[in-house]
């Protein structure tokens, strides 16, 4: 038998990185960030009262923030939950949300942002609701006057 000396073709290893999947992932991340960034900027527009004094150094923890707008409506803001723009929280839901937030982070500071045009009683009512939810101390946010 005669042996044929055939040469085998060796397959060469391709040493290139396929970047197409990385581009796909980057585009998906870009779209996600483009959609979520405006949602993070939401908030309730309030005209904070001004007070003379020094600006207090912010605590390192994210505060539980309740906003009372000029119509006396409550808006809740803490870490992952923020009231949808235009949809205020009722008193019972505000208490429930605050309890959940305080269970999650017991030492979280609790503050109220009250519009300067709101009736003072409505800010006091918000403080009462927060105390009922278990807040030990409730602070008020103002704007430092020049």
Domain count, the chain: 1
Q: Residue 42 domain-assigned?
A: no
pLDDT over 70 at 67, yes or no: yes
Q: Residue 17 domain-assigned?
A: no
Given this model, what pLDDT does residue 21 score? 86
CATH code of the domain containing 73? 3.30.420.270
Query: Average of pLDDT values for 47-57?
Result: 64
pLDDT over 60 at 42, yes or no: no
Through-space distance between the first and last CA atoms of the chain, rounded to whole angstroms = 104
Q: Residue 3 domain-assigned?
A: no
DSSP 60: S
Q: Residue 67 domain-assigned?
A: yes
Query: Average of pLDDT values for 32-54?
Result: 68
- Average pLDDT over the chain, rounded to an integer: 81
pLDDT over 70 at 39, yes or no: no
Q: Residue 34 domain-assigned?
A: no
Question: Confidence class of residue 83 from pLDDT cuts 50, 70 and 90?
Answer: confident
Of residues 87 and 74, more confidently modeled: 74
CA 141 to chain centre: 18
Burial (0-12, 13-18, 19+ Cβ within 10 Å), 12: exposed
Q: Residue 91 domain-assigned?
A: yes
DSSP 63: P
Q: Which domain holds residue 89?
A: 50-144
Q: Residue 94 domain-assigned?
A: yes
Model confidence pLDDT, tens digit, residues 100-135: 999 998 888 999 998 888 888 898 899 999 999 999
Q: Residue 114 domain-assigned?
A: yes
């Amino acid at each position: 038998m005669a042996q044929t000396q055939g040469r085998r073709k060796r397959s060469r290893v391709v040493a290139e990185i396929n970047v197409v999947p990385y581009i796909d992932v980057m585009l998906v991340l870009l779209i996600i960030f483009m959609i979520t960034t405006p949602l993070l900027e939401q908030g309730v527009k309030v005209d904070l009262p001004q007070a003379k004094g020094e600006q207090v150094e912010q605590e390192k923890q994210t505060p539980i923030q309740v906003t009372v707008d000029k119509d006396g409506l409550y808006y809740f803001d803490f870490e992952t939950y923020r009231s949808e723009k235009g949809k205020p929280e009722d008193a019972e839901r505000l208490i429930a949300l605050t309890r959940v937030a305080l269970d999650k982070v017991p030492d979280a500071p609790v503050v109220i942002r009250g519009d300067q045009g709101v009736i003072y009683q409505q800010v006091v009512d918000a403080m009462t609701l927060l105390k009922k939810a278990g807040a030990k101390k409730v602070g008020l946010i103002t704007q430092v006057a020049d």
